[in-house]
Amino acid sequence: MKPVPFEYEKPGSLSLAVSQLSATGVNGKIIAGGQSLGPMLNLRLARPEALIDIRQLDELSRVQSDEKTVTYGAAIRHVDFEDGLVEDATQGMMRHVAGGIAHRAVRNRGTIGGSLAHADPAADWVNTTIALNATFTVLGSTGRRTIAAADFFLGAFTTSLNDGEILEKITIPRLSDQAAWGYYKICRKKGEFAEAIGILVVDPARGFARAVLGAADAPPIVLDQLAASIAESGTAKDINLEEAVQAALPDASPVSLRHHSVALQRAIQQVYPS
């Protein structure tokens, strides 16, 4: 199938992109890498009257860093993380995650901002940014606002972006030298979306510990208490993980529970091998 006809805009600045998006109202859509939107256009699941292309905007491809954080422009591609072309705030975690997204052809064009705005619960950046306690900056015609990653995802494919707003940048707190992370996803085939994602990030120097269950047909589930107990004892031996996962996913099928328990267990083992 082919998309419905649409106008194509290629603004020269972020402020022009915002005004073009506001002018088109609900009938306009941002396109970044087109890796999720392209198929939706072809299947006519999305029928925008105008597409505003943001790929070429320098403002969205910048990296700014300070002592505590690194801020990534929303149009930075997966491959830029994978190939180490941008600074990694996370002791290699973002690089590892990026390299596991889809196939190289998708990573060549897909962007971190596009993935977050699309909000697929099984998307790697969706889960990773929550695990890292990221903050998102969005820009609309009335100005900028910041949103914690945990408040950004309202449901599967639903975010707190208002009509006319563009996700501009993603701020990641730096992991300290003492930090450790584990990231494990279960996929049917390499390059496919995950059936289950388990993440553990522990950063004692910042008093931060977070576990995340992802790809559960809902926004990522944060298990801070569980992560804190594991970080405190340095092991998950005394914790019944299956029970903890079942409590977090009461409606999941036995297969999904098993997948999520195993994904989380393996992420924990990456942090605390025993």
Ligand X SMILES: Cc1cc2nc3c(=O)[nH]c(=O)nc-3n(C[C@H](O)[C@H](O)[C@H](O)COP(=O)(O)OP(=O)(O)OC[C@H]3O[C@@H](n4cnc5c(N)ncnc54)[C@H](O)[C@@H]3O)c2cc1C
Query: Could you list the residues that contact ligand X (CB under 6 A)?
Result: 29-37, 54, 74, 101-102, 106, 110-111, 113-115, 117-118, 123-125, 161, 166-167, 193
Find the shortest distance in angstroms from Cβ 102 to ligand X.
3
The smaller minimum CB distance to ligand X, of residues 19 and 246, is found at 19
The smaller minimum CB distance to ligand X, of residues 167 and 231, is found at 167
Find the shortest distance in angstroms from Cβ 139 to ligand X.
9
Q: Token match 């609900």: residue? A: 26
The smaller minimum CB distance to ligand X, of residues 137 and 269, is found at 137
Q: Distance (Å, rounded) from C-alpha 41 to C-alpha 7?
A: 13
The smaller minimum CB distance to ligand X, of residues 137 and 229, is found at 137
CA neighbor of 181 nearest in space, from 92, 245, 241: 92
- Secondary structure (DSSP) of 131-150: HTT-EEEEEETTEEEEEEHH
> φ, ψ for residue 184 (rounded to 5)?
-135, 130
Count of CB atoms situated within 10 Å of the CB of 143: 8
Find the shortest distance in angstroms from Cβ 23 to ligand X.
16
The smaller minimum CB distance to ligand X, of residues 55 and 258, is found at 55
Break the chain down into helix, strand, coil percent, rounded to 5: 35, 25, 40
CA neighbor of 118 nearest in space, from 30, 47, 55: 30
Q: Which residues, other chains included, contact 161 with Cβ-Cβ below 8 Å and sequence gap of 6+?
A: 117, 138, 152, 167
Find the shortest distance in angstroms from Cβ 65 to ligand X.
20
Q: Distance (Å, rounded) from C-alpha 122 to C-alpha 216?
A: 7
Find the shortest distance in angstroms from Cβ 46 to ligand X.
7
Task: Retrieve residue 249's tokens.
Answer: 């996913």
Task: Retrieve residue 151's tokens.
Answer: 């408040």
**Torsion region of 218: left, alpha or beta (phi above 0 gives left; psi -120 to 50 gives alpha):** beta
The smaller minimum CB distance to ligand X, of residues 6 and 125, is found at 125
Find the shortest distance in angstroms from Cβ 66 to ligand X.
22
